[in-house]
Structure formats: C-alpha cells, structure tokens
C-alpha cells in the first residue's frame, strides 16, 4: 500500500485528492468488515449502541445526504427520508430495523452511493469545493467541509466497528 496522498486521475487537483482520501478510507472500512457474518453484523457488542451493520448503513446514508446537499442543494425528500432516515438517525429504531442483512447488502449500498459521488465529483472543479453556502441558521459552509465530514464520519464509525469486531472475536475465541 502506498501512503502518499495523490490526486486521483480524471479530476481537478484538489477534488482528485479528496477522491483519493474517500477511496482510501473506504478501502479501510471494507478491510475492517471483511468476513463479518450475519451474527457479527447484527451484534451490538458490549456497551455499543449500534450494530456494525447499522453503522455501515449509516456511513452510506451520510454520503447520500451529502450528495444531495452538495450536488443538488437540498436535503432528503419524503421518499428519500423514508429510505435513508433510519440509518441517518441510528438508535433504537435502527436496532430493530437494520438487521438480518449479509455483508454484501451493505457493501453494495456503499458502492452504489460511492459511484454517484465519483461521477458527480468528476463534473466539478476545484473552485466548487470552496464555494460557500449557508445553513438555515446562517452558519457558512463549503463543499470541502461537507466532504471532509463524510470522511471523518466514516473513519469514526469504522473505529467503532473495529472495536466491536475485536470484542466479538475475543468472545468467540473463549467459547
């Protein structure tokens, strides 16, 4: 593995660097979840509030809503909120609803959302990253920050998944 940030081919320089980071982070997430079975994906683990499967669904939903905000300048509509809302919010509702799916279900959702992100970013230029907008409360943000948040959210939840998977493996080894 190469540990130097480079601009992905086919993108403006800064967007290409962002794409490189998005893909690098995703590779780590896929490695961290590789081989998890249904029981492991659905387990909350000791002291964990969400399952690994729910966290993977959340990672996809965060990227999806950031696509809408940055590429379409809008939030989820009612139909999208119905599809993605539980994964965005997590918690008790997600614990009941986001379960019973194999790893392929989550990795396919992650891949389909990412394909849209890459297609849309290819059509943007670096100045787009720095374009400012305002949230309804008046706080400024730019596209670079939105996509930084996608990265930090995935990295954070991947850490939770790794911790959970490590504990589950320890329990399985003791049994």
CB neighbour class for 106 (10 Å; exposed up to 12, middle 13-18, buried from 19): buried
Domain limits, the chain: 13-174
Q: Which CATH fold would you assign to the domain 13-174?
A: 1.20.120
User: What does the pLDDT read at residue 1?
Assistant: 63
The terminus-to-terminus CA distance of the chain in angstroms comes to 35
- Tell me how far CA of residue 8 lies from CA of 32, 83, 132, 172, in angstroms: 23, 31, 24, 40
H or E element that contains 115? helix 103-122
Whole-structure pTM value: 0.92
Q: What pLDDT is attached to residue 166?
A: 72
Q: What is the pLDDT along the chain (175 residues), one digit of tens a residue?
A: 668 889 999 999 999 999 999 999 999 999 999 999 999 999 876 666 899 999 999 999 999 999 999 999 999 999 999 999 999 999 889 989 999 999 999 999 999 999 999 999 999 999 999 999 999 999 999 999 999 999 999 999 999 999 887 766 555 555 4
Widest pairwise Cα distance in the chain? 56
The pLDDT value recorded for residue 163 is 87
For 13, phi then psi, to 5°, come to: -55, -55
Q: For residue 37, what pLDDT is reported? A: 93
CA angle, residues 131, 17, 140, in degrees to nearest 5 = 25
Tokens (6 digits) for 148 = 């930084």
DSSP 12-75: -HHHHHHHHHHHHHHHHHHHHHTT--HHHHH---TT-SS-HHHHHHHHHHHHHHHHHHHHHS--
CA distance 93 to 4: 40
């Amino acid at each position: 593995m190469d540990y130097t940030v480079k601009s992905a081919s086919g993108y403006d320089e800064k967007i290409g660097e962002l794409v490189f980071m998005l893909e690098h982070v995703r590779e780590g997430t896929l490695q961290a979840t590789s081989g998890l079975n249904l029981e492991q994906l659905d387990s909350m683990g000791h002291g964990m509030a969400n399952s690994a499967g729910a966290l993977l669904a959340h990672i996809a939903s965060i990227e999806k809503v950031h696509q809408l905000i940055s590429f379409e300048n809008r939030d989820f509509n009612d139909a999208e909120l119905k599809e993605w809302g539980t994964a965005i919010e997590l918690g008790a509702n997600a614990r009941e609803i986001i379960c019973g799916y194999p790893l392929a279900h989550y990795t396919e959702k992650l891949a389909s959302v990412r394909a849209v992100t890459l297609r849309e970013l290819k059509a943007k230029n670096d100045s787009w990253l720095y374009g400012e907008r305002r949230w309804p409360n008046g706080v400024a943000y730019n596209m670079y920050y939105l996509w930084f948040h996608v990265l930090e959210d995935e990295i954070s939840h991947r850490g939770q998944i790794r911790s959970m998977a490590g504990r589950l493996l320890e329990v399985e080894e003791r049994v």
